[in-house]
Amino acid sequence: LDPRVSATATLAVANLAMHKSSADLFLSMQVLPKLLKLASQDNEEVAGAALQALTVLVAAATESRQPVGEADMLKCLVPHMNGHKLALKLAATTCLTMLIGSEASREIVRNSNIFSTLVACARSEDANVAAQTLQVLTIMCRDHDFRQQMATAESGAVLDLVCRLIASPEPSLRKATAQLVLACGDDRTLSHALCERGALSALKISADSTTHPCAMTATALNKLVHHDMVAKYSMLGELSPHQLVKGVFYDFGRLRIGEPFPSLKELTLAPINAHRPVLLVNTTARPAQRQRSTLSGEIKTSQKKKPVLSVVEEAPAAQGHGGSAAGATGDEWRPELDDDLLHLCETAQAIAEEHANEPMAVSAELAKLVSGRMGGPVPLGDLATFSVELATNELKQRLKSNVIPIGMVRLGLYYHRALLLRVLLDHVGVPSTLVRGDYGRAYNVVHVDGKQHVVDVMHAPGQHHLLRNGVGILRKPHNFFDCIC
């Protein structure tokens, strides 16, 4: 047939197939093999029309769970995706998007070794091709094995590309990239890999942009830090009650815009500097302590003690980036252990048992414990002269690191004290929120009987202040305690 006639007839099939009854009729007539032949022709007009018809019919077949011959489809689509004709590349990628709607189809696609083709298409200078390919990757991320493939070193190019495209001025690319990040955010390994490549900074810039606003990037940012408490506290400045600070956690302050997320190992081995210290929480017991605990019939350190107070939902250890090294053996690097913190946790447990079912009393006593540990009460007017730099520098020099275990801190400001109090509150089961303020401030908010109270751990340790309008006020530039005095 004349190519123009073939193209016109094929477009008619595509348009008619938009109606379900017509699509079912075409499928019953075994039209797909004929369309595949047309789609493989050199004539761009005919091939484009055939790919359009295939896209519509494949979508209908997937919806009705009819076989579409995925292997044959891929043999037709991949050459176009690898080709140089943008219209056919886009049409083939769009058809692939419809093809992978079922789990069985995704498995066939995953096993067909087209990952390099997808990477190349995602790098396309054509925004439509790149965005459509990102949509394919997003759907494929429903497959666990494909997510593992995405996280491997040789596939890191995709994650690097994602970090770059988040800041694209093209709206379709930003939206498609944010959707892919949302899909990756369900996988702890992928989310960590994205964070390490600078995705958090890129998402934050995009979410705050007034020039290229994209609401979905803010959603993607929240999703990405969902599994990573270190990243969440650094980027969003808040840890809610169900996110228990235990295991390995570290606070290095706010992530600077444009910088990749630093691992705990990188921070530990970095040269000593004059910046604020990185505070390390490590509730991991020494092996000998765990063994004694097991032999004596006590609860293993790795298990959660029954809360003396309100029941808090169990959460995975807050390892964050590099925290997994806590379980390292042999000569592998591991975070500094903190026997002082473990002793403080034991003291906190005793306080909780003494004031059973009195969460306000427990939080007050723990605040006094933390304050006494870190220099005692400091009047508001004396804050400017309460210096911790000398003590901090001595600790850094002794440890030969910028990372300081929180249990070793003997002089502390707001952010030192608030983090330690949060660890102890979590240990005994008192629900609280840790909120980062400006200028090195941080606050503890305990949740009791449906009300929120800010616990003073700095000026009048143990005093509670009812918070009437949510924690947002704690993020303001001013000092919360200035406002209540």
Quickly state the pLDDT bin for 327 (edges 50, 70, 90): very low
pTM score: 0.73
Average pLDDT over residues 454-460: 96
Quickly state the pLDDT bin for 195 (edges 50, 70, 90): confident
Cβ–Cβ under 8 Å, residues 445 and 427: no
Query: Which residues lie below 8 Å from residue 347, measured CB to CB, with a gap of 6+?
Result: 369
3-state secondary structure the chain: CCHHHHHHHHHHHHHHCCCHHHHHHHHHCCCHHHHHHHHCCCCHHHHHHHHHHHHHHHHHHHHCCCCCCHHHHHHHHHHHHHCCCHHHHHHHHHHHHHHCCCHHHHHHHHCCCCHHHHHHHHCCCCHHHHHHHHHHHHHHCCCHHHHHHHHCHHHHHHHHHHHHHCCCCCHHHHHHHHHHHHHHCCCHHHHHHHHHCCHHHHHHHHHHCCCCCCHHHHHHHHHHCCCCHHHHHHHHCEECCCCCCCCEEEECCCCCCCCCCCCHHHHHHCCCCCCCCEEEEECCCCHHHHHHHHHCCCCCCCCCCCCCCCCCCCCCCCCCCCHHHHHCCCCCCCCCCCHHHHHHHHHHHHHHHHCCCCHHHHHHHHHHHHHHHCCCCCCHHHHHHCCCHHHHHHHHHHHCCCEEEHHHCCCCCHHHHHHHHHHHHHHHCCCEEEEECCCCCEEEEEEECCEEEEECCCCCCCCEEEECCCHHHHHCCCCHHHHHC
Quickly state the pLDDT bin for 331 (edges 50, 70, 90): low
Interatomic CA distance for residues 434 and 241, integer angstroms = 8
pLDDT value, residue 155: 58
pLDDT value, residue 485: 53
Which of 199, 172, 171, 174 minimizes the C-alpha distance to 185? 199
pLDDT value, residue 1: 66
Quickly state the pLDDT bin for 292 (edges 50, 70, 90): very low
Average pLDDT over residues 277-302: 61
Does the pLDDT value for residue 226 go beyond 60? yes
Percent over 90 (pLDDT), the chain: 56
pLDDT value, residue 318: 42
pLDDT value, residue 328: 38
Q: Please, which contacts does 359-362 make with residues 24 or more away whose CB atoms are closer than 8 Å?
A: 359/309, 359/310, 359/430, 359/446, 359/448, 360/446, 360/448, 360/453, 360/464, 362/308, 362/309, 362/428, 362/430
Average pLDDT over residues 426-442: 94
Interatomic CA distance for residues 198 and 143, integer angstroms = 24
Average pLDDT over residues 241-263: 87
* Of 217-231, 242-256, 296-310, 442-456, minimum mean pLDDT range: 296-310
Cβ–Cβ under 8 Å, residues 51 and 92: yes
pLDDT value, residue 46: 95
Query: Which residues lie below 8 Å from residue 441, measured CB to CB, with a gap of 6+?
Result: 414, 415, 479, 480
Interatomic CA distance for residues 137 and 81, integer angstroms = 14
Does the pLDDT value for residue 428 go beyond 60? yes
Does the pLDDT value for residue 294 go beyond 60? no
pLDDT value, residue 334: 83
Average pLDDT over residues 457-469: 93
pLDDT tens per residue, range 79-126 = 999 999 999 999 999 999 999 988 888 999 989 888 889 999 999 999
With 0-12 CB in 10 A as exposed, 13-18 as middle and 19+ as buried, what is 127?
middle
Interatomic CA distance for residues 218 and 213, integer angstroms = 10
Percent over 70 (pLDDT), the chain: 89
pLDDT tens per residue, range 387-417 = 999 999 999 999 999 999 999 999 999 999 9
pLDDT value, residue 417: 98
Average pLDDT over residues 134-156: 84
pLDDT value, residue 113: 85
Average pLDDT over residues 314-343: 60
Which of 393, 398, 392 minimizes the C-alpha distance to 411? 392
Which of 101, 171, 99, 100 minimizes the C-alpha distance to 130? 171
Q: Which two tokens stand for residue 320?
A: 């964050």
By DSSP bridging, strand 238-239 and strand 432-436 are antiparallel
